[in-house]
Each structure stands twice: as structure tokens, then as C-alpha cells.
Structure 1
Amino acid sequence: MELEVRHLRALCAIAETGSLHKAARQLGVSQPSLTTQLRRIENSLGAELFSRERSGCRPTPLGRAVLTRARPLVAEMAALVVEAKAAAARAHGARLRVGSTASSALPGWLGRLRRRLPDADISLNVDVSANALLRMVAAGQLDVAFVHEVEGCPLLVPDGLFRRVLMEREPQFISMSLDHPAAAASVVELSDLAEDRWIVDPTVDGEWDGLRRVLTAAGLNPPVLHGDYHTAASLIAVGEAVAPCQPTSGSREDMAIRPLRGDPLAVRLLLCTPPGPQEPYDDVYADLESAYRESATRAAVYRQWLRHHKNPLFTPAA
């Protein structure tokens, strides 16, 4: 068996994540498939590259030696692919491939981009995983990615990506049913939600870990449901659960959105772009900033929060 780039990429992913399960998710393959691939690689070399322990996978001395050579090869191949795709894009005319996690600013951003670049081929890829989008930018599959980073749960930003911070700390609000007792207040105490079921989407990078950290710090251990936020909305509306939500979330007749006292839950909003000259992305970022400001000031509760905290996003004219 001859080692190929995909084999080296698999070895690097296992070493980076320390787990076959996490590496398989990062590579977009099943864990049994990755395990089989690793076994074949080790059989071809005649020795183990990783020791399997209860805490995860650790490179053996031979594994460390192989990784020392593999990592620069994988990085060079990734750079070659990015450059080749960029050259192909230039040859076929203007295009902009946009990636984003869920955001109410997304429609306004796309509208501005299409008006600014009427002849460009603009595509959109929405994913719950910010890390997956960042890997796509690094691999040359996306030109920009607008993502959020849960406080206390850093994203795995590939080397070389350029980061612009749209919001250093965006507070996460709480959505609840209209008849929830806490909905009568303009600001909710975290302790007021101690007896509620919380619902969180575990597929969103850092979402569950960030919430668990905040609840634990507050001495709370409420029951937690795992599910997507589309399902969550119907459960919240009938009083079966509460959930964190973006402050720019649009108002609903069957749901209340309130800030938490002290804003313990927060995310950082980032626009990530490939290495190289950043001037082509200046207008892309300006359009995103404008769309986010519009979305933020349109949400009444968030607008009040911005005004109270004298945030530069708030302008009385808005």
C-alpha cells in the first residue's frame, strides 16, 4: 500500500483532534471507515502510529516521526489546491462563494453583495458548524465565512486565515413562551430559569459546552434537551423549554425574547477570508457590517440593549 495525500491528511486529523471520532467528523467520513483506513496504513508500515487510550489517540514515536513529514506535505497540497482554484475562478470571471452560520443579517448581506457585484456569481453555503466552514475557506471551497465563536470555546481556525471581528462580544438572549413568569421583566435573571428545561443544538460548535459552562458557574443543573432550533421554537412557544437565541432574532407573536442579567452567554462574530491581499474583501466586510447593523437595530429588544450599553452600533436615527 502506497501512502497518498488523503492518508496523510487522515493521520494529521487524528493527531490534531486526539480522537478517531472527532477526526472522522472533521474529515466527513464514518468512524469505522477511518479506523479501517488507519489500520491499513499501520499494517503497510509494520507498526502502530497511534496508541489507543481511554482518553483518546496519542502518536507513538514512529507516529510523531511520520507526522513531522506529513504535516508540511498536507499544508503544501492544501495551498496548491487553493491557488489552483483561485486561478480557475479568475479565468472564468468574477464569483464569490459565501459561507455562514445562521444569522438574521444574512439576507441583507447577500442583497448588498448582489447590488455591489451585479455580474458576479454569488453562491451561499449555510452550515451549523463554524469549524466546517473555516476548513472550507482553507481548502479553497469558500471565499469568505461569517461565523460565530462561542465564548470559552475557541474555534479551530486553520493557519493563515485572516480574521475580521464584527462583534467582539455579542450577548445571547433567551427565548421563552409569552406566559413565562420571567417574560414580564425586561431583563431576566438566570436563576429565574433554574426550573426550566433548556434546549440546545449540540451540532453547533461550542453551543452545548458554552451553555454548560455558564449554567455550572451559576450553580444550576437544569434538564437539557438536545434538538435543532426549528424544533426548539415550537417547544418554547408552548412553554416546554427555554433556549439561548441570537439578539437579532425577529420578534414572534408566540414567544418572548429577553436579555440575561450580566450577559453571561456571548459569542464573537468573525468574517474569515483566505491568506493573501485583503483589499478585495474590504467591501464584502463593509456590506456585512451594514447588514448586521440594520438587523440589530430592527430587533427592538436588542436595540434597547445597544442603546443602554452605548454601543456604537446603535444610532438614534435607526
Structure 2
Amino acid sequence: MELEVRHLRVLCAIADAGSLHKAARRLGMSQPSLTTQLRRIENALGGELFLRERTGCRPTPLGRAVLSRARPLIAGMSALVTETRAAVARADDPRLRIGSTASRALAGWLRRLRQRLPDGTDLSLHMNVSAGTLLRMVAAGHLDVAFVHEVEGCPLLVPEGLERRVLVEREPQFISMARDHPAAAAPVVDLADLAEDRWMVDPTVDGEWDGLRRVLTAAGIDPQVLHADYHTATSLIVVGEAVAPCQPTSGRRDDMAIRPLRDDPLAVRLLLYRRPGPGTETFALVYAELLAAYREVALRSAPYRHWLLRNKSPLLQTPAA
């Protein structure tokens, strides 16, 4: 007799139920049939797996050893069946589930994907300030791709096995401040000019506070810090209550100044992740359209465009048709 997955399920059912009678009911079979099957399994393995007692049955040391190996195998088989069925469903009804941290490139990216993906593709977007959360969702199969940023000096905890493509190796983080802030008169701001300001940071963004604290400490600055989301930050920044890091693609506002920092001490890396497997061509398309959408918003922002020119960024190169 060769052991099969169904035999391992029988052993686990007996162990979980604690008696042959209860296990037989859960498995939808008679107790004599289950007893006979258990005896055959024990004969095949060459030892007793359960001690039969008046109050039920419990695993022997050999039984516990077999169960410790059986449970992961059953879980793996269940996961295989679930993932295979999901793959079949995606083939019949194509979809692309995108996860992303905040980016001004998102609108253009989604527009481009709707134009390029097959008709009828179900395109969805899940936003989260936590890159780590999005990556775990990709690893668990709840998202197909995730566009995230990694704060310089604060590596993300990436689940094992994910495939990565780098969109931008080093994106500088600019500073947003009130339009009448003294430092806003210069095209480039020194950190020292912001030493007396309150700094706003969102503590739920992975690595944000640690990265900022590292840079400020290196500059000898120990500022007052306000912890809040960036929607709240905007209302405080425009009235001069705080300054905050911001993406260089941030749009122009009449009540706010956005300036690069001298020597670009704050930066992030922009990354696109997926689980390995089929769909390599789709992933390449998703990446290409994201890069094109990002390039659009980067060149639309005058401060960032000037920064790209100064640094001879490859983003300035016209992509091949």
C-alpha cells in the first residue's frame, strides 16, 4: 500500500477529532471503515500510530512524528489547489490587482494600462501607506503587483521569493514649506535653514521617520516633530506651522513652496514587485507603462525637471518607440 494525500488527511482528522467515531463522522464514513483504513495505514508504515483508549485515541510517538510531516504536506497541497484554481480563473477572466503607495504617476499609469491591456481586463487599485503591507499582500496572492518606495537607509522587509524591478534608483525628496518661508526665496534649500522649524512626518509610512531622523541627526538638527498623515500636514505647512519632505513630482500650489535640498540628503528608491511565475510579458508591460507615466509627471514638475537636467538623469531621454 502506497500512502496518498487522502491517507494523510485521515490521520489528521483522527488526531484533530480525538476519536475514531468523531473522525468518521467528519469524514463522512462509517467507523468500521475508518478503523480498517487506519489499520492498513499502520501496517504500511510498520507501527502503531494511535493508542485506542476508552475516552478516545491519541497519537503515539510514531504517530506524532508522522503527523508533523503530514500537516505541512496537506497545507501545501491545499495551497496548490487554491492557487491553480485562481490561475485558471484569471485566465478565463483576466485581471490585474495593483497595490501602490502614494504617487502622482498612478493616474497616468492606470490610464495607460487600460489602453494596453486586453479588453475586459479587471483592473483594480489598492492604496496603502505601508510598503511592507503591500509586499505581504503580493506574497499572499492578494495582489499581482505592488509599486512601492524604499526610504534610503531603511531597507524594506521583503517576503522571500518576490521578483523586483527598479523604476528609479534614487529619487530625491524635496521639502514643502509655506510660500512666505524665508528659505523659499532660494531655489535650493540648506537643511540648516530649516533647523528651527517643526517637521511633519507620517509614522505609518515604512522607514519615513527613521530615514528623516538619520539625516537630521547627521546635520546636527534636533527638531520638534509632529506625527500626522500628510493630508493634515498640508494645512499646517501652508500657514507656516511645519515643513515636511515631499515627492519631487508634487504639483505646484500658490500657497506652498516646494524646493530641493542641497546635496539631496533625503531620497527613496522606487520599486515594482510581483510573485515569480507566468505573466512575464504582462509584468514587462506593467513596468514599461509605469515608467512612462512617471516620466510624464516628473517632467511636468518644474523643480524636478530642473533637478533632472542638473543631474543628467536618464529620465530625460526619449524612450524608444
Shared fold, TM over 0.5: yes
Q: CA deviation at 1:193?
A: 0.3
- Preserved CA contact (<8 Å) 1:81 1:140: no
Correspondence for 2:251: 250
Which letter does structure 2 place at the counterpart of 1:99? G
1:102 partnered with 2:102: yes
Counterparts in 2 of 1:232 and 1:160: CA distance versus 1, 3 Å:
same
Of 297, 307, 310 in structure 2, the residue corresponding to residue 295 of structure 1 is 297
Correspondence for 1:126: 127
TM-score by length of 2: 0.74
Correspondence for 1:313: 315
- Preserved CA contact (<8 Å) 1:78 1:139: no
- Preserved CA contact (<8 Å) 1:177 1:239: yes
Query: How many Å separate the matches in 1 of 2:317 and 2:86?
Result: 41
Counterparts in 2 of 1:159 and 1:69: CA distance versus 1, 3 Å:
farther
Aligned runs of 1:128-277 on 2, under 5 Å?
A: 128-277=129-278
Correspondence for 2:116: 116
Counterparts in 2 of 1:219 and 1:121: CA distance versus 1, 3 Å:
same
Query: How many Å separate the matches in 1 of 2:227 and 2:69?
Result: 39
Counterparts in 2 of 1:274 and 1:304: CA distance versus 1, 3 Å:
same
Q: CA deviation at 1:69?
A: 11
Query: How many Å separate the matches in 2 of 1:195 and 1:68?
Result: 61
Which letter does structure 2 place at the counterpart of 1:248? T
Counterparts in 2 of 1:234 and 1:73: CA distance versus 1, 3 Å:
farther
The answer for unaligned runs of 5 or more in structure 1 is 3-66
Correspondence for 1:304: 306
Query: How many Å separate the matches in 2 of 1:170 and 1:298?
Result: 15
Q: CA deviation at 1:311?
A: 0.4
Paired residues in the alignment total 253
Query: How many Å separate the matches in 2 of 1:289 and 1:193?
Result: 33
The answer for unaligned runs of 5 or more in structure 2 is 1-14, 17-67
- Preserved CA contact (<8 Å) 1:78 1:138: no
Higher alpha-carbon deviation: 74-83 or 158-167: 74-83
Query: How many Å separate the matches in 2 of 1:236 and 1:186?
Result: 18
- Preserved CA contact (<8 Å) 1:151 1:267: yes
Q: CA RMSD in A?
A: 2.5
Query: How many Å separate the matches in 2 of 1:77 and 1:264?
Result: 48
